[in-house]
Structure 1
């Protein structure tokens, strides 16, 4: 009898949890669609592309300069003293290190700039999703990219309007 009571209590508890879960209101949003079409996000990407392009040009110039010096030094190696060749070899190593350091610093700077530009925009999007979701009475709003089935209310358009586009 005691086992039967426990089994009934377990069934009631499971049914109660399912009922509570069924009553939770959920919606979905397409965050990728928002981030690819948000004007501020597009502008931030353009700034990052320009910065990356500038660093790429500088890097290319440094590498070309390094290669030109290397060819020149190689061509003249037989006609200059060992001391000059050693000095040139050290200069080439130093240039190689500067190029490597430049590349690392450029990557770090680009990542920092990306964080500085994107973090406030991502926070703004999250806040807008929360605002719209709460205003429409949803307890959960999920990103459509992580769902296997998105057959419910889509608040993407409402979030875009809230963000002003």
Structure 2
């Protein structure tokens, strides 16, 4: 009798747990696709392009200035004292070392700027996702890119686009879902 009661309790527990799991509404979304449709994203991309161009222009200016300094050094070195020549050489070597790390520095500055400019867009999208989830009874929302199989009915992208006042993506855009 004790075994029977234990089996019944375990069965009821498992049945109850499976009902709880089945009662949860699960959805998914491709945040990147929604962000691409947001007008703010185009503005951010323009700002990032301009920022990147200014970083590379600054780097080019520094490289050109260094080349001119090296040429001037070679031209004037015959008339320099050994101590002045050593000071100039050390200064040029320092400039070369600074420029050699410039590409990594530019990448880091650009990534920091991208994150800074993208944060308001990401926050706006997060708020819209949370509101759609609450309004429609979703318990979990997953990124589409992390899922292997997903039924189209669980895609909350159209609801979020509507919440944000975005138009549906063009039918010919292969990267975005059609609606």
In which range does the TM-score fall when normalised by the shorter chain? Answer: 0.7 to 0.9
Name which of structure 1's ranges 88-97 and 102-111 shifts more when overlaid on structure 2.
Answer: 102-111
Distance apart, 1:156 and its partner CA: 0.9
User: In structure 2, what is the Cα distance between the partners aligned to 1:74 and 1:154?
Assistant: 67
> What's the CA shift string for 1:23-50, capped at 9, x where partnerless?
2112222212101221102211221121
Matched, 1:53 2:50: no
Q: Superposition pairs for residues 12-51 of structure 1, below 5 Å? A: 12-51=12-51
> Could you tell me the TM-score, scaled by structure 2's length?
0.77
Residue 84 of structure 2 aligns with which residue? 84
Q: Superposition pairs for residues 1-165 of structure 1, below 5 Å? A: 1-74=1-74, 76-78=76-78, 80-96=80-96, 99=99, 109-151=109-151, 152-165=153-166
Distance apart, 1:22 and its partner CA: 1.0
Flag the 1:8–1:67 CA change in 2: closer, same or farther, 3 A. farther
Q: Which runs of at least 4 in structure 1 moved beyond 6 Å after TM superposition?
A: 100-105
User: In structure 2, what is the Cα distance between the partners aligned to 1:108 and 1:87?
Assistant: 31
User: In structure 1, what is the Cα distance between the partners aligned to 2:145 and 2:83?
Assistant: 63
Structure 2, gaps ≥5 residues long = 167-179
Structure 1, gaps ≥5 residues long = none
Name which of structure 1's ranges 18-27 and 5-14 shifts more when overlaid on structure 2.
Answer: 5-14
Name which of structure 1's ranges 148-157 and 119-128 shifts more when overlaid on structure 2.
Answer: 148-157
- Report the count of equivalent residues: 165
Q: Secondary structure at the match of 1:139?
A: strand
Report the RMSD for the aligned CA atoms in angstroms: 2.6
User: In structure 2, what is the Cα distance between the partners aligned to 1:14 and 1:77?
Assistant: 87
User: In structure 2, what is the Cα distance between the partners aligned to 1:125 and 1:3?
Assistant: 53
> Could you tell me the TM-score, scaled by structure 1's length?
0.82
> What's the CA shift string for 1:78-112, capped at 9, x where partnerless?
55331231121122134346547876775555444
Higher relative helix content? 1
